[in-house]
Amino acid sequence: MDDALLGLMALSDPYLLLLLVFATLGGVLIGALPGLNATTGVALLLPFTITMQPIPAIAVLTTIYCAATFAGAITAILINTPGTSASATTCLDGYPMAQRGEAGRALGMAAVSSTIGGIISVICLMLAAPMLSRAAYYFAPPEYFALTLFGLSMLASVGEGTPVKNIISGAFGVLLATVGIDLLTSIDRFTFGFNELSEGIGFVPVMIGVFGISELLVQAGQLDIVRKQVIMKKIKLPSKADYKKVWKTILRSSGIGTFIGILPAEGATVASMIGYNEAKRWSKTPEDFGKGAIEGIAGSEAANNAATGGAMVPTLALGIPGSPTAAVILAGMMVHGLRPGPTMFTEQAEFAFAIFWSMMLVNILFFFIGLYGAKFFARITFIPTQILWPVVFIFSIVGAYALDQSMFDVWIAVGFGFIGFMMRRHGYSVVPMAIGLILGGMLETRFGQSMVMLDEQWWMMVTRPLTAFFLILTALALFGPMVWSKLFTQRDPMKSSGE
Amino acid sequence: MNKLSMNDKSRWLVPLLICIFCALTYWQTTQFETVPEILKRGTQPSDFPQMVLVLIAALAMLILFKDRPKPMMKLEPKVLKTMGLLVGFTLLAEIDLFLGLGIFAASLSYLWGEKRIIALLFAGVVVPILIFFFFDFIFEIRFPKGILTNIWYG
């Protein structure tokens, strides 16, 4: 309780409050700009936090995460272009509503359900993260190894690639994490004579490359996309009848979003899809979905914002990112010398609770900013691509340089921009690679420690109940969907007959 | 407009390239120094990368045999030209980082269809200068010396 109060006290600093207001504005702006999303935004702005103290720095990053996730709905509703992939399902009903002159009502519902979803998930985060970390306090290296492996196995289902391609991408990230001096033996690996590689490949330049610079190349191929904005009348909050219709949907989607967010690597996009589907399944009028059903917006938006809080649970309590953006925030914590994991709630509890409170605050802030600034942010999306992306590139490069003041990091960022673009072009999502890079070091260290502990008899891991449990979960995450789809295909007479 | 093509070549070329990369990297791991048995703490430095490489190669083989050819967008000329500009940036940045950034930003803007001089000057001159001074004053970042940055640093 004292820690929660101390965390709240930390937020009473006027400088930090002002910073959070600006970060919310920045996050909403990033989320509203098509092509930029929460992950890219956090990766690009991470270097700007280098001179800050850890609390303001990480609070700014989580604020951008929450605000950008919400803001994707603005463009989804007004121009039928989701600002972030998590808002793709919001387009389905938001844009039809806007077309029939109800843009204000749709935006109002998006803001209300996002705020409620976000606040519910932060409350869950405040309760669940310390409990989870207390349980994890008793984990030994084999349990940690199995848990990290489970986190990595969840990468099979993230991003736009197929499961096999996602695992290749994740494994490539793990391989990249082995570059530099081996911590257990102090022997150089893959440094090729470059001193800059002795400490490994930096997270930040790689993130800037694969999320920022590769997106610039993607945008180069999409210059002919024309966006049309729907004229928006006065914004109005949802009516009592609307609330009556959607309150169950909001609560259900908030629960779904929080749960999906807690699962390692699963983020807001998956949450919004499931939230939307469940809203449709439970609706009394499922036929209205896709034609402008207000429940559709509530189901999608409550879930994707709830996922942000949920994603921070494993990130802070176990050091395993709950979503791609949480992975970049995790990298930010490491850059600031923090050690997310079970010890965080005993050694840095004030920091953890300050982050929780800042997330709570941003959920209230973006409600007002989103509602009253929606018209302005919708106009911002019309900044010409040919001006926006050169500016984003300059920020990317200067950001990559600024962290260690090294031109080597600039080359890394540009190189990974090319690698990221080619990976995406061939169906290999860059998200698993980024998470693999962050978790790779931990995975190898825990594996090495487990080998020492088990006297090099790795098969002894399965004799430890918790390790075996995580290994079974890993196997289920990897092979479950494959087996399930095979069984399902065999039993589906329509598919088997080729119709 | 992007054109779709059934690019059957990339179906086997990419997994094959991955396998070649794995083979070369695996060989590289065999060149790592080893730790004497008595000092070894669980694993040799090459053990873990080798396990990861075997996994990647095995999965690439799986793709080679299981993956179906999918229609693929042909690379737009503008994408190729943007890549060319990026290479140009890396060369110019060796002379001066901000010279490279300014020329890249203005050229990219022009390549993507911006013809207004004011807009080109904004992207290529105003923004780099603002960002330079922002990082210099606020974050006290010292950028690498070059033709332009020396004017400020002396």
Residue numbers in A near B90 (CB within 8 A): 411, 414
Q: What is the CA radius of gyration of chain B?
A: 24
Are residues B31 and B91 part of one domain? no
Of B73, B105, B131, the last residue of a domain is: B73
Of B73, B105, B133, the last residue of a domain is: B73
Nearest to A168 among B59, B119, B127 (CB): B59
What's the number of domains chain B is made of?
Answer: 2
Provide the residue range defining the domain that includes B48.
4-73
Helix boundaries (H) for A46-102: 54-79, 88-99
DSSP helix/strand/coil, A207? helix
Task: Answer whether B108 sits within 8 Å of A213, measured CB to CB.
Answer: no
Are residues B11 and B47 part of one domain? yes
Are residues B105 and B121 part of one domain? yes
Nearest residue of chain A to residue B19 (CA atoms): A168
CB A177 within 8 A of CB A437: yes
Task: Answer whether A394 sits within 8 Å of B141, measured CB to CB.
Answer: no
CA A40 remoteness from chain centre: 10
Task: Answer whether B131 sits within 8 Å of A178, measured CB to CB.
Answer: no
Are residues B57 and B10 part of one domain? yes
Query: What is the dihedral sign for C-alpha A213, A215, A216, A217?
Result: positive
Residue numbers in A near B73 (CB within 8 A): 221, 425
* Candidates A22, A166, A185, A450, partner chain B, best to mutate (most B CBs within 10 A): A185
Task: Answer whether B56 sits within 8 Å of A175, measured CB to CB.
Answer: yes
Are residues B56 and B12 part of one domain? yes
Task: Answer whether B138 sits within 8 Å of A51, measured CB to CB.
Answer: yes
Within 13 Å, how many C-alpha atoms sit on residue A120's CB side?
24
Encoded tokens for A407:
């031109």
Q: What CA–CA distance (Å, rounded) separates A361 from A365?
A: 6
Are residues B107 and B40 part of one domain? no
Task: Answer whether B63 sits within 8 Å of A164, measured CB to CB.
Answer: yes
Position B129 pLDDT exceeds 90: yes
DSSP code per residue over chain B? ---EEE-HHHHHHHHHHHHHHHHHHHHHHHTS----TTT--SS-TTHHHHHHHHHHHHHHHHHHHHPPP-EEEPPPHHHHHHHHHHHHHHHHHHH-HHHHHHHHHHHHHHHTT---HHHHHIIIIIHHHHHHHHHHHHS-PPPPP-TTHHHHH-
Are residues B67 and B93 part of one domain? no
Are residues B119 and B98 part of one domain? yes
Residue numbers in A near B26 (CB within 8 A): none
Nearest residue of chain B to residue A403 (CA atoms): B141
pLDDT for the residue A10: 80
CB B43 within 8 A of CB B50: no
Q: Which of residues 104-133 of B touch A (CB under 8 A)?
A: 104-106, 108-109, 112-114, 119, 122-124, 127-128, 131
Are residues B87 and B69 part of one domain? no
Nearest to A394 among B40, B131, B138 (CB): B131
pLDDT for the residue A494: 42
Encoded tokens for A376:
């302005």
DSSP code per residue over A192-205? TT-GGGTT---HHH
Of B41, B56, B73, the last residue of a domain is: B73
Q: What backbone phi and psi angles, to 5 degrees, belong to B4?
A: -90, 140
pLDDT for the residue A492: 46
Going by pLDDT thresholds of 50, 70 and 90, the confidence category of residue B5 is low
A264-to-A206, A297, A408, B48 alpha-carbon distances in Å: 21, 25, 32, 23
Q: What backbone phi and psi angles, to 5 degrees, belong to A188?
A: -65, 140
Task: Answer whether B35 sits within 8 Å of A165, measured CB to CB.
Answer: no
Encoded tokens for A63:
């604020």
> Of A367, A287, A359, A283, which Cα lies nearest the Cα of A110?
A367
Q: What is the pLDDT of residues A53-73, one digit of tens each?
A: 888 999 999 999 888 888 888
Q: pLDDT tens per residue, chain A (499 residues)?
A: 577 788 788 888 888 899 999 999 888 888 877 667 788 888 888 888 888 888 899 999 999 988 888 888 887 887 776 767 778 888 888 888 887 778 888 888 888 899 999 999 888 888 888 887 777 777 888 888 888 888 888 777 665 668 889 899 999 999 999 999 887 788 889 988 888 888 889 888 898 898 889 989 988 887 776 656 555 555 566 778 888 888 899 999 999 988 888 877 667 778 888 888 888 888 888 888 888 889 999 999 999 889 888 888 888 888 888 888 888 898 888 888 888 877 777 778 888 888 888 888 988 888 888 777 777 776 666 778 888 889 989 988 998 898 788 899 999 999 999 999 999 888 888 888 988 898 888 888 888 888 888 887 878 888 888 889 889 988 887 777 667 766 665 554 444 333 2
Nearest to A220 among B25, B59, B82 (CB): B82
CA A455 remoteness from chain centre: 38
Are residues B89 and B50 part of one domain? no
Are residues B81 and B119 part of one domain? yes
Q: Which residue type is seen at B81?
A: K
Residue numbers in A near B125 (CB within 8 A): none
Q: Name the residue ranges covered by the structural domains of chain A.
A: 2-496
Nearest residue of chain A to residue B63 (CA atoms): A164
Q: What backbone phi and psi angles, to 5 degrees, belong to A444?
A: -70, -45
CA angle A339, A341, A342 (to 5 degrees): 125
Are residues B100 and B69 part of one domain? no
Residue A137: CB atoms within 10 Å: 13
Going by pLDDT thresholds of 50, 70 and 90, the confidence category of residue B80 is very high
